[in-house]
Amino acid sequence: MASELTMVNINNDKLRTALDKLVPARSPASLKIQNLIIYVVSLKPGFALNSEFISESLEISFTVYECNNIADQIVKAKNIEEWAVSYMLILFYKKYGAVDSKSRAWQFMSAYLQIILRITLQEDKHFAKVNQLGVRVRMGLNAHNPQSEILNELIHIHTQQDTLAGVLDRIRQYETLTKQSETSGKVINKKLAGKIGRMRLAYEVVAEDKEFVGKTYSKTSNNEAFKSNLDKFYYDSDDEPLRATAFGIKHENDNVSYDENLADDDPEKLLDNDFKPSKHTAKSSELQQWKLKNNYRHARRNGFGFSTSLRQLSLISIQMLFDRLWQLLMLSSGGSRSSYTIILISLISGRRVQDVIAELGLDKGQRTWLSYKKGINSSYHTLNITVNVTTNRRSHLLIHRQSYDNEFSLPLPYELQSIIERPTFIEHTQISESLKDLQRQLDLPALSYQHIESALYSIIKNELNEPLHADLITAVDVKHSSPLYYTSISTKSLSDTYVQAVSLMAKMCSTDIQKQLFSNNLYITNKPYIGSDMALNRGICQKFFEQLAGAVESFNGRLTRAVSIKQDRYIEQFNAYSIWLWHIIMIQTGIRPVVHAPGLLNQFDFQARLFWVSDKEERQGQSQGRLIPLSQFLITAIQNYIKYIKQFAALHNVIYPSVQFPIDDILNSRQPLIQLFSKNPKGFSGITPSKVRYQLKSFFSHQDNWLRHQLRTLLTNRAPEHLIRALYGHEQPDQEAMHPMSSLSINEIKSLSDYLDEVACELNLKQVEVRIHG
């Protein structure tokens, strides 16, 4: 039975119809490719098709020129999907050369094509998988693509296994292994498991004759609901809900994702009237407005988290509360025990009490952030935190990222594990009762949900002085804390901070309890780094700058003028130097890659070692910009560059009277400091991110602001967090370093320049040496 299923006899007519479907007559070189398929299939007879009825076929060969030509035609006709098999085969041929029965690659392709033909012969909805199969192999042909690993493994599997069942079995094993290693966090997540899964599915369809199961997408999927609300902000206020809408600006000159820009620009939010006004204010729109504004200001004040704020507990109160809760938890049972559990979890996770109630009401498999993990000997719950950063889809960069993923887990005390095993249902009133009781017992002036929720955050921020860790650990959404977009951070520092914070909370418990808190803890394997998908690892970063500097210096001793300005190597060197300096400025200042960044020469003060920049889209009343300390390395780099452009201009301007280099305008700050020569239109103009992208061409491609991510990552856990925020312009409203009420001294900001020099040192940055005279 099984063998009947896995083998299908096929006659010439059937084969022809299938081939016509795969390689339509309209597609380039259709006959030749159809014959190639027949020939390749005959290499490994009887894998999935009995091809005895197929007439003898002749060997087909293509020249490289033909291959390129056909591939070009397919791309130009925009039929990559419809003619997926032709496209895949022609690229495969280009890489592995003429069909050879001894070639392992072609042996694999023979089996693969049989699978594709079988799916086509079924004439059902599974046909869509053919395109998938084509894509997977095509991607794997490029050595830089992580998917090349899949292709190599597939070829390997096909040489070892002769039968379809054997191959399928091995693919399944490969898929499970990949999935395991991706979730374990021991390797960088290259997102391969899903892709292998799609191939496995195609093999399953043929081997096990699977029915087609379609997916139906409902319009109100979670994702979409989330998306449409990205620009909505809810503020924490006393009585009425406070909602604001941020209107993002279109960034036409960079390729940074919309959400990231929105969070980073931090545009003025417009408060809207999404609340039911009280009777008193309902009649008057002016009163409404006034109340709304007042509430908003109030909410911003709360953002400071001063220890005098009445909305949060003092450290002592938190410690007393924790101790009492722990004692009660051990003594009580039933409903009160559940309510103490909920309060305690809210206290040590910083989540809203409502969220904790909802989460505990679910079955453990359905919970989202109280995640249930199955270990080898035991299973346990952890706090699971996902940082919703911009995903990096550039496949050539995936393996070079510093972050392995964007989620991490934190331990929960051992005693809580068994209590939260089952779903718990509880009423709000019961929790309020417990809170009232606790307030009376501890003699606290006030104890509300808000006091509980803010405890962990205020301890980490005020006592441990780690505002970034506080945002991460209490799972603040990225859109409320733009630093999270930029940081790739070590998970060890996070779990250390967390354990420290909870230990501080438990200071008043008996030493036994303190010791036990995390000692029985199950080993949590976190990925070493999580967060921003854009920051790359140090090695690749060093290499990148080495290559840029190498490009500038490669012209030394090879400078020649040419008849045409387009081949003048003096100008090519000038461009290479400008590109290098632009990247150096980005990694040493962290400014946004806006048009004409870093601006004019007079924005730099080399004596005071400060740089004034306004890199946000200007809005009314907030175009002040900010001051950035200059590192010694950067000062030298810019001064060398200025010396260079003076020499360059002296030589250039006499030779090309029609294409002048505007040296006077640059030195007198009338034109941007960094310029690039472009061939069309011919001439010099200020640098822009898109021009940089064009200059780098096939050398490198990444999100324009990746060095901003990189610098943030390198500074995090090295320099004081409030200074990094000042450098990036990421302070909360009214908490800006240069705010009139700010108590920060300018010298403290200047101390950043030492950290910036450390970064330069860590990345092995070297000044470039340019010899313009011979």
Partner 1 sequence: MKNINLKPSQKLIDLSKAKFIIHPHAEDALTLWQRFRSRNTEIDFFGLDKFYRPPLRLIAGNASTLYFINDFARVNNILISNSSDKYPCLITPESIQDIQMLAWAEVVKLVFSKDIHHPQLFKALKKMAPKSVIYKLMNIDSLTIDNYCSFADITKASFEYQQSKTAVEDSVVGLPMSMDWLVN
Calculated CA dihedral for residues 9, 12, 14, 15, nearest 10 degrees: 90
Distance of CA 90 to the CA centre of its chain: 34
The encoded tokens of residue 578 equal: 């400008």
Check residue 376 for interaction with partner 1 (CB under 8 A).
Answer: no
Q: Which among 25-33, 51-59, 504-512, 548-556 is the span making contact with partner 1, rule CB under 8 A?
A: 548-556
Looking up tokens 């890489």, which residue turns up?
95
- Looking at residues 521 to 540 of the shown chain, list those that interact with partner 1 (rule: CB under 8 A): 540
Nearer to partner 1 among residue 330 and residue 562 (C-beta): 562
The answer to whether the CB of 277 falls within 8 A of the CB of 288 is yes
Which of 76, 78, 280, 697 lies at the binding interface for partner 1 (CB under 8 A)? 697
H or E segment to which residue 325 belongs: helix 315-331
Q: What would the x/- binding string for partner 1 be over residues 623 to 652, using CB under 8 A?
A: ----------------------------x-
Check residue 572 for interaction with partner 1 (CB under 8 A).
Answer: yes
Check residue 695 for interaction with partner 1 (CB under 8 A).
Answer: yes
The answer to whether the CB of 455 falls within 8 A of the CB of 350 is yes
The answer to whether the CB of 538 falls within 8 A of the CB of 763 is yes
Decide: residue 66, CB within 10 A, 0-12 exposed, 13-18 middle, 19+ buried. middle
Which of 25, 58, 654, 741 lies at the binding interface for partner 1 (CB under 8 A)? 654
Q: Which among 32-40, 169-177, 338-346, 562-570 is the span making contact with partner 1, rule CB under 8 A?
A: 562-570
Which of 56, 563, 680, 747 lies at the binding interface for partner 1 (CB under 8 A)? 563
Check residue 693 for interaction with partner 1 (CB under 8 A).
Answer: no
Site size for partner 1, by CB under 8 A? Answer: 33
Check residue 555 for interaction with partner 1 (CB under 8 A).
Answer: yes
Q: What would the x/- binding string for partner 1 be over residues 294 to 333, using CB under 8 A?
A: ----------------------------------------
Instruction: Provide the minimum distance between the beta carbon of 581 and partner 1 in the complex, in angstroms, as a whole number.
Output: 14
Instruction: Provide the minimum distance between the beta carbon of 773 and partner 1 in the complex, in angstroms, as a whole number.
Output: 5
Strands 604-605, 626-629: pairing is unpaired
Which whole-number Å values give the CA distances from 3 to 11, 50, 107, 108, 163, in the listed order?
18, 11, 21, 20, 10
Q: Which among 11-19, 61-69, 557-565, 605-613 is the span making contact with partner 1, rule CB under 8 A?
A: 557-565
Q: What would the x/- binding string for partner 1 be over residues 190 to 209, using CB under 8 A?
A: --------------------
Check residue 187 for interaction with partner 1 (CB under 8 A).
Answer: no
Check residue 400 for interaction with partner 1 (CB under 8 A).
Answer: yes
Instruction: Provide the minimum distance between the beta carbon of 701 and partner 1 in the complex, in angstroms, as a whole number.
Output: 8
Instruction: Provide the minimum distance between the beta carbon of 703 and partner 1 in the complex, in angstroms, as a whole number.
Output: 16
Which of 285, 307, 448, 554 lies at the binding interface for partner 1 (CB under 8 A)? 554
Q: What would the x/- binding string for partner 1 be over residues 734 to 773, using CB under 8 A?
A: ---------------------------------------x
Report residue 508: phi and psi, to 5°: -90, -10
Report cis status (omega within 30 of 0) of the bond before 277.
no
User: Cα Rg for the chain, rounded, in angstroms?
Assistant: 32
In angstroms, the CA 126 to CA 117 distance is 12
Report residue 212: phi and psi, to 5°: -85, 125
The encoded tokens of residue 353 equal: 């009490």
Q: Which among 121-129, 354-362, 559-567, 734-742 is the span making contact with partner 1, rule CB under 8 A?
A: 559-567
Report residue 506: phi and psi, to 5°: -90, 10
In angstroms, the CA 367 to CA 549 distance is 51
Check residue 774 for interaction with partner 1 (CB under 8 A).
Answer: yes
Check residue 659 for interaction with partner 1 (CB under 8 A).
Answer: no
Check residue 543 for interaction with partner 1 (CB under 8 A).
Answer: yes
Check residue 258 for interaction with partner 1 (CB under 8 A).
Answer: no
Which of 548, 637, 752, 760 lies at the binding interface for partner 1 (CB under 8 A)? 548
Check residue 547 for interaction with partner 1 (CB under 8 A).
Answer: yes
The set of residues, in sequence order, having a beta carbon less than 8 Å from that of 481 and lying 6+ positions away, is 471
In angstroms, the CA 108 to CA 81 distance is 22
- Looking at residues 107 to 166 of the shown chain, list those that interact with partner 1 (rule: CB under 8 A): 143-144
- Region at 621 (left for phi over 0; alpha for psi -120 to 50; beta for the rest): left
Nearest to 46 by CA among 104, 7, 100, 2: 7
Which of 698, 740, 741, 747 lies at the binding interface for partner 1 (CB under 8 A)? 698
Strands 675-678, 610-613: pairing is unpaired
Check residue 247 for interaction with partner 1 (CB under 8 A).
Answer: no
DSSP, residue by residue, 394-455: -TTTGGGBS-SBSEEEEE--HHHHHHTSS-----HHHHHHHHHHHHHHHT-S---HHHHHHH
Check residue 566 for interaction with partner 1 (CB under 8 A).
Answer: no
Check residue 396 for interaction with partner 1 (CB under 8 A).
Answer: yes
Check residue 569 for interaction with partner 1 (CB under 8 A).
Answer: yes
Q: Which among 182-190, 342-350, 497-505, 569-577 is the span making contact with partner 1, rule CB under 8 A?
A: 569-577
Instruction: Provide the minimum distance between the beta carbon of 142 and partner 1 in the complex, in angstroms, as a whole number.
Output: 10
Check residue 94 for interaction with partner 1 (CB under 8 A).
Answer: no
Report cis status (omega within 30 of 0) of the bond before 681.
yes
Asked whether the CA dihedral 121, 126, 127, 133 is positive or negative, the reply is negative
- 3 state DSSP class of 239: coil
Nearer to partner 1 among residue 335 and residue 550 (C-beta): 550
- 3 state DSSP class of 307: coil
Q: Which positions lie near partner 1, rule CB under 8 A?
A: 143-144, 396-397, 400, 540, 543, 547-548, 551, 554-555, 558, 560-563, 569, 572, 576, 579, 651, 654-655, 657, 695-700, 773-774
